[in-house]
Amino acid sequence: MGEKILIVEDDKKLNDGIRLALKNDSCLFYQCRSLKEAREILSGEDIALVLLDVNLPDGNGIDFVKEIRKNSQVPIILLTVNNMEVDIVTGLDAGANDYITKPFSLMVLRARVAVQLRNKETTAGDFDTVSVILATGGKRSAPKIPGLKEFEGRGVSYCAVCDAFFYRGKEVAVVGNGEFALHEAEELRNVTQDVTIYTDGKEPEFSREHPIAVNTMKIQAIEGDDKVSGLLMQSDTAAQDAEAPENSFYPVDGVFVALGTAGSTEIARQMGAEITDKGNIKTDEEMATTIPGLFAAGDCTGGLLQVSKAVYEGSMAAISAGKYVRHKKVS
């Protein structure tokens, strides 16, 4: 029997269309139109790939990805009508392997499905190697603040470099208490001077002095109608404004979440590589870890979380790994 593919799509015509487009004698297809049905199939079948709609009648597909990832690493491709960066990032951060935006080309669908099935085949087994580069990325931390998820894409953002220009001259909040929050706040100051860092009740952990306002009160909720209008705060003894009432409303036009990342460093830790106090893989300027032959690059090393940095570090790690392999062969 061939690979088993699960299609979770509530639109019956599209569900059947995907099935026909992927028709393959070597694959067995399971079709369902709700998360309830999907759970039943996943619990009883060895599924090789999941094609998952984001908007389903009994729940959100991205939340279901998180649920699946608690017990399984089955490849998941999200099917979404949203082409907004925040939706794509949220889905991939949740654990999805890929995404396709509706309407999509059936040729592209077939190609992406083939890639995921091919990757599944080539990741099994043991591989002998002289050098390894870890580029496992990082999982963004998100606080459990009421309103955060609801306003994503409508005033809540995770990237100042990407979205700062939307808030020129407006009041902006940055949620975080570390270096990443400070970096995002400084980036936003290029377009507006009304920037405040909200630590959500935590002590600030900045390594240097800065002129940006800091509010240490606990955030009760992000509020608004169609888009963010402000933060509801609860005063505490650490609050800078001692005159503030027990619950205060602070108007803001945008909220940037900057809590850093929980790096995907468990593999490096198990191998014995040194991990920094912030939970990132420790590397030198050539991206070498504390284990000979093991290199790391990208978000898993911490620092500035931008594509340009990841590309540079990946290139440097590849050059360094190549030098290491050549040296080992000579010796």
- Render pLDDT for 154-187 as a digit per residue (tens, 0 to 9): 999 888 877 888 999 999 999 999 888 898 899 8
Residue 239, pLDDT score: 43
Instruction: Tell me if residue 102 falls in helix, strand or coil.
Output: coil
Burial of residue 157 (CB within 10 Å: 0-12, 13-18, 19+) is: buried
Instruction: Tell me if residue 27 falls in helix, strand or coil.
Output: strand
Assess whether the region 132-139+262-330 and the region 156-257 belong to the same CATH fold: yes
Higher pLDDT, 171 or 152: 171
The domain 3-122 is classified under which CATH number: 2.102.10.10, 3.40.50.2300, 3.30.70.2660, 1.25.60.10? Answer: 3.40.50.2300
Query: Distances from the Cα of 313 to the Cαs of 132, 213, 287, 300, 304, in angstroms?
Result: 14, 33, 7, 11, 11
* In the predicted structure, residue 103 carries a pLDDT above the cut 50: yes
Residue 139, pLDDT score: 60
Between CA 20 and CA 26 the distance in angstroms is 14
Enumerate the domain spans of the chain. 3-122, 132-139+262-330, 156-257
Task: Identify the residue whose tokens are 């620092």.
Answer: 303
Mean pLDDT of all residues in 69-76: 89
Question: Which residues make Cβ contacts (< 8 Å) with residue 317, sequence separation at least 6?
Answer: 133, 135, 286, 287, 295, 296, 297
Peptide bond into 245 cis (omega under 30): no
* In the predicted structure, residue 309 carries a pLDDT above the cut 70: yes
User: Which phi and psi angles does 282 have, rounded to 5°?
Assistant: -80, 130
Residue 238, pLDDT score: 44
Q: Which is it for strands 294-296 and 156-157: parallel, antiparallel or unpaired?
A: unpaired
Evaluate whether 173 touches 231 at the Cβ level (below 8 Å): yes
- Torsion, Cα 34 39 45 50, to 10 degrees, reads 60
User: Which phi and psi angles does 147 have, rounded to 5°?
Assistant: 100, -15
CATH no. of 132-139+262-330 = 3.50.50.60
185-230 tens-digit pLDDT: 998 999 999 999 999 999 998 878 899 999 999 999 999 999 999 9
Largest CA distance in the chain: 72
Confidence grade of residue 240 (pLDDT, cut at 50, 70, 90): very low
Evaluate whether 76 touches 66 at the Cβ level (below 8 Å): no
- Span 156-257 CATH architecture: 3-Layer(bba) Sandwich (3.50)
Q: Which residues of 169-192 are buried (b: 16+ CB within 10 A; e: fewer)?
A: eebbbbbbbbbbbbbbbebbbebb
